[in-house]
Amino acid sequence: MSNELSTKQRKSLIIGVVGIIVVCACAIVAAWAGKSAWSTLFETEGNGTPTGQNATTAELIVAVSPGMASTLTQLAEQFNANAYKTPDGSLMSVHTLTVVPEKMVEQSLANPPFQALAPDSSLWLNQLDRRWVAAHSSDEETSLIPIGNRRFGDPVRYATSPVVIAAWESVARELGWPDRVVGWRDIQQKATTDTTFKWNHPSTGHASGLLATLAEFYAGAGLTRGLTPEAATAQTTLDYVRAVEGTVRFYGEGEDVIVQRLAAEGRNFLDAFVAQEQVVIAWNQTQSGERLVALYPAEGTLWADHPLALLELGASDETPLTANQRRTYQTFVTFLTSPDVQRQLLAAGYRPANLDIRLDEAGSPFAGSTAADWRQPQTTLQIPAASVVEVVQNVWWYTKRPTNVYLVVDTSGSMEESDKIDLTRVALRSFVEQIRGDRDQVGLIAFASEVNTLRSLQPLDDAGRADLNRAIDQLRATGNTALIDGVWEAYTELTLRGNPEAINAIVVMTDGQENNSRHSFAELQQRLRQEHGTSVVIFTIAFGGDADEKLLRSMAEVGGGQFRRAQETDIEELYKIISTYF
Amino acid sequence: MKRTRWIFVGILVVVALIIGVAIVVQRSGNDGNTPDTELVLEQPETITVRVLTALPVEPWVRSAAETYNATQPTLDGVPIQVEIIPMDGLTALGRWDRNDFGALGADADVANLTAAEKAALASFPTVWIPDSRYLVELANASYKERLGRDVFLTDGEYRARPIAISLFTWGIYESRANVLTSRFGDITWNAIHDAAVAKGGWPELGGDPAWGFFKLVVPNPNKNAGGLAAMVAAAGEYYGRTDISVADLTEPQFQTWLKELMGSVTDFSSASAYTAEDFALFGYSVGDGGQLLESDLLQNMQGILTRWDDPLKIYYPRYVTWFEFPYTIWVGPETSALEKNAALAFQRFLLGEEQQKAALAYGLRPTNPNVSLDATPESLFVKWKDRGVEMVVPRSDAMRNPDREVLLALLRWFELNVAN
């Protein structure tokens, strides 16, 4: 029949149909497998895997305030010695990076060189929060619920310490302790009425310095809470703060440096200073002689509450955190809050965050001591909103004690080596940038074979600042090293033109040996010791390994200042640090 | 067998081989972290239930999860693992609202997700336990705008179920409370307001001059859902009713009253999400008293007694707000049916008598009616009875949950008048 297929045709048809099915099946399977393989090979590459960083790294870098740096670094070393491992076998490690809190906030906003931060107070986290939200306000505007967009996760506290006025016991008794509660006003009154009274607070870049400044603004405004930008900037407030700040001997990096200087210079260096309670306890534990006493201000104080927070990195071109870094952070937090570590912190003078630990338990530095009282403070000053704190920080520059400082710079031939003269120019410009007081004056003296006063003291308004920077840019290295003559010249200028009410200072830097001065160090020393009227502080910097450290140390000692070493890598940072003293 | 049949069988073997090889290739391409292609159909090695948990119940839920995981639970033969992610309810709400967790769009096809998209969903929360039901409603409202549907259900099998309750109570240092009660009688928001605005501070109220001014503790509403609850309770008492509207909040006299009240808070910057813990850590130096979650106060009571020279006393307010911690399962396609059902299994575990009794040790009131507040010796309601905690709440009016507009108005008011 014509409709019926032959056997041969039927076989061919079956084979054809099966063949088509096979081809189709192969195509489907190949596409499915291929898609998966393609996805595996290529698409996962864009799956948040950080580039330029090992995706499994368990190394965590924590930025820490200078005052806590040595303690936290020791604890990080203990943590690392435990050799904790992540589930995938990576070794957890924690490293610290010492950063001033104000700078920590600045760096945390974009591509920080750390993943977690441990400032001395939550105040800084609040500022970070505020600045982060301000910088990402467009994201917030699109959000119906304007919350939860934070740069860091929930912080934990691992130690606390109230900010106190640390005073020698004899000074404290003179102020009325322990029979009555001493306040900020007592210190401020004493400082303005007794010219021999020497006190200090760190710059506003530290919690203790910021609190002391806030206390002055509150007192000046006649308030104990509700400080507003208007009250902080009222003329009567500014006049009051200016009068009090005029009695501050110098500012500086923080209480850790004050303690170093107290140890070096002894009881007469300061009568009182603002610091964490822990500084008082640690001092009394390690030093002999008259003890320090913690005065808890009657008007209230502030807590250095030592928060630790993990940054939520990953914005724009940032390297995101790895899962292992998060694990390291969590493990480190558990380690820091463990009873053993908390007792170590108590032994160091901090109040542990673990509330199970009694402050007056046997062996505690608080037990049986009257120098620090665990029942205190009774009250705290109100911390204004972050915006008001920023106003106070800015206005402080117009109230602080004025500064007259000469930058005395080595421009001998050796400064040409290793780009030292170029790096010095950068460092000097950074120093000038940091000096922001409207009553501050800076001068520039270069010394080589001769001494050259490039700029006499001049105020740093816009024109003055630009002029000084031009002079810095023109520094050239050649000739010998008339170091002593350079300092002699600066000293002469300061005593002739300086203001006894101001902080008068010389910051001298050299990379070599004195070899061309007309004056001897003995003459300079005699002059510094004999001069009356304007007091001049001398800071000395040994740049590199060939500088005459012995001479520089002696110069700093007789000038009541500090000697510091610097290398090519940190000369700029050192000049910035020294600028905080003014 | 005929030759054609041999050919047919041969072809079938070849097809089977091709399919087998393809499966091997496909599986080798899966790194183990990437979810299976079919979120719904494929059987995973482990079912992970990720529970986004509000901070006040986190210690209890974490402990319960550890106990649960230790029982090696399974569902359809697949092991279940419960993972706890602590997060304040308000922060979580902000993250839901911004879709930070990466929920799929309304037109997304789950079956055709790329490997990267699937990997992104690997950490998607299965369950959310916020502080209060109103946070769930706010999240639903946000997703309704985006997807046109609810993502958390209010009825049916997957509906939100409260797992524990905690009230907002006054926690005041006893020495200060004695002065306040002798001057004002009951501890109320109005009494606290009058103490807050006393120009002479504590000496004017009859207290010790060393105490300075009266200092209130209220959580920062940007960091802790309790801050909003406290403001709602204050508004309720100010107006003498349980239902607060946006118009009430914008009334100038009320705003002045609230600003004076909030002006006595010492430090919102360090008021973290763990306010009661801060209260214990810094003691009466930062706060004489405040309205905080009962469970938080009870959990920190021992710490306060250990650290400070003055015990804390608990008082119950007339207008009461509370958190009921609803266990809320995400119903979208981002999580599989197995994960949702495993989440239900863990919910049943939490609501069981054993875990409800365990909640007492954390100062939480069980929602299981079979468990009384003194059911165990570890119950904090028994332990801190002499500190003022009461098993039966005295006569009070329960505040209604605020609606979205009220919450947003409070947040805006706080930003403009207090935070900045």
A330-354: per-residue pLDDT in tens?
999 999 999 999 999 999 999 999 9
Residue A537 within any structural domain of the chain: yes
Asked if A396 and A240 count as a contact pair (C-beta separation under 8 A), the reply is no
Residue B407 within any structural domain of the chain: yes
Residues near A524 by Cβ (< 8 Å), separated by ≥ 6? A484, A487, A488, A491, A555, A558
Q: Say whether pLDDT at B25 is over 50.
A: no
Considering the domain architecture, whether residues B133 and B234 belong to the same structural domain is answered as no
Q: Say whether pLDDT at A49 is over 50.
A: no
Considering the domain architecture, whether residues B185 and B143 belong to the same structural domain is answered as no
In the numeric block, which tokens belong to residue A344?
Answer: 């170590």
Q: Say whether pLDDT at A34 is over 60.
A: no
Q: What is the CA radius of gyration of chain B?
A: 26
Tell which residue, B238, B396, B249, has the closest CA to residue B320.
B396
Considering the domain architecture, whether residues A236 and A131 belong to the same structural domain is answered as no
Of A41, A154, A355, the CB nearest to B273: A154
Considering the domain architecture, whether residues B200 and B225 belong to the same structural domain is answered as yes
Among A26, A120, A132, A145, which would you mutate to test the B interface (most chain B Cβ atoms within 10 Å of its Cβ)?
Answer: A145
**Nearest residue on chain A to B202, judged by CA atoms?**
A379
For B240-268, the DSSP string reads TSS---HHHHT-HHHHHHHHHHHTTBS-S
B170-182: per-residue pLDDT in tens?
999 999 999 999 9
More confident residue, B34 or A356: A356
In the numeric block, which tokens belong to residue B219?
Answer: 């959580």
Residues of A in contact with B296 (CB under 8 A): none
Contacting A residues, span 294-313, partner chain B, CB-CB under 8 Å = 298-301, 303, 305, 307
Residue A3 within any structural domain of the chain: no
Residue A117 within any structural domain of the chain: yes
Q: Tell me, what CATH number does A123's domain have? A: 3.40.190.10
Q: How many CB atoms lie within 10 A of CB B42?
A: 11
Please tell me the distance from the alpha carbon of residue A373 to that of residue A352, in angstroms, as a whole number: 15
Mean pLDDT of all residues in chain A? 87
The count of structural domains within chain B is: 2
* Residue A515 touches chain B, beta carbons under 8 Å: no
Q: Say whether pLDDT at B214 is over 80.
A: yes
A254-269: per-residue pLDDT in tens?
888 888 888 887 888 8
Look at A356 and B29 and tell me if their CB atoms are within 8 Å: no
- Read off the pLDDT band of A47 (50, 70, 90): very low
Tell which residue, A415, A461, A454, has the closest CA to residue A439.
A461
Look at A378 and B210 and tell me if their CB atoms are within 8 Å: yes
Residue B377 within any structural domain of the chain: no
Considering the domain architecture, whether residues A133 and A270 belong to the same structural domain is answered as no
- Return the percentage of chain B with pLDDT > 70, whole number: 89
Asked if B132 and B57 count as a contact pair (C-beta separation under 8 A), the reply is no
In the numeric block, which tokens belong to residue A385?
Answer: 């909103």
Residue A54 within any structural domain of the chain: no
Residue A52 within any structural domain of the chain: no
Residues of A in contact with B281 (CB under 8 A): 157, 160, 305, 353, 355
How many CB pairs lie under 8 A apart between chains A and B? 198
Q: Among A144-158, A226-240, A413-427, B228-242, which is the least confidently predicted range?
A: A144-158
pLDDT of residue B269: 66
Sign of CA dihedral A13, A17, A18, A22: positive
The count of structural domains within chain A is: 3
Q: Say whether pLDDT at B353 is over 60.
A: yes
Give Dmax (Cα) for chain A: 137
Residue A531 within any structural domain of the chain: yes
Q: How far apart are the first and last CA of chain B?
A: 90
Give the per-residue SS3 of B373-410.
CCCCCCCHHHHCHHHCCCCCCCCCEECCCCCHHHHHHH
Residue whose entry in the numeric block shows the structure tokens 């009494």: B191
Asked if B318 and B386 count as a contact pair (C-beta separation under 8 A), the reply is no
Residue B6 within any structural domain of the chain: no
The CA distances from residue B345 to A114, B43, B72, B73, in Å, are 41, 18, 12, 9
Q: Say whether pLDDT at A24 is over 60.
A: no
B310-352: per-residue pLDDT in tens?
999 999 999 999 999 999 999 999 999 999 999 999 999 999 9
Q: Say whether pLDDT at A143 is over 80.
A: no
Global pTM? 0.79
Residues of A in contact with B29 (CB under 8 A): 36-37, 39-41
More confident residue, B238 or A141: B238
Considering the domain architecture, whether residues A417 and A565 belong to the same structural domain is answered as yes
Q: How far apart are the first and last CA of chain A?
A: 115
* Residue A180 touches chain B, beta carbons under 8 Å: no
More confident residue, B221 or A86: A86
- Read off the pLDDT band of B29 (50, 70, 90): very low
pLDDT of residue B154: 77
What is the amino acid identity at position B376? T
Residue B172 structural domain? 167-322+385-419
Asked if B202 and B179 count as a contact pair (C-beta separation under 8 A), the reply is yes
Q: Tell me, what CATH number does B252's domain have? A: 3.40.190.10
Q: Tell me, what CATH number does A429's domain have? A: 3.40.50.410
Please tell me the distance from the alpha carbon of residue B25 to that of residue B17, in angstroms, as a whole number: 12
Distance of CA A520 to the CA centre of its chain: 38
Residue A530 structural domain? 403-579
pLDDT of residue B35: 34
Considering the domain architecture, whether residues A131 and A278 belong to the same structural domain is answered as no
Q: Which of B305, B334, B351 is the last residue of a domain?
A: B351
pLDDT of residue A56: 84
Residue A360 within any structural domain of the chain: no
Mean pLDDT of A11-23: 62
Residues of A in contact with B405 (CB under 8 A): none
Considering the domain architecture, whether residues A298 and A185 belong to the same structural domain is answered as yes
Look at A33 and B22 and tell me if their CB atoms are within 8 Å: yes
Mean pLDDT of B288-308: 95
Residues of B in contact with A295 (CB under 8 A): none
Residue A15 within any structural domain of the chain: no
Considering the domain architecture, whether residues A172 and A260 belong to the same structural domain is answered as yes
Mean pLDDT of all residues in chain B? 88
Of A18, A47, A383, the CB nearest to B266: A383
Residue B37 within any structural domain of the chain: no
Look at B307 and A43 and tell me if their CB atoms are within 8 Å: no
Considering the domain architecture, whether residues B141 and B171 belong to the same structural domain is answered as no
Asked if A276 and A208 count as a contact pair (C-beta separation under 8 A), the reply is yes
Residues of A in contact with B115 (CB under 8 A): 36, 39-40, 43-44, 47
Residue whose entry in the numeric block shows the structure tokens 């706890």: B84
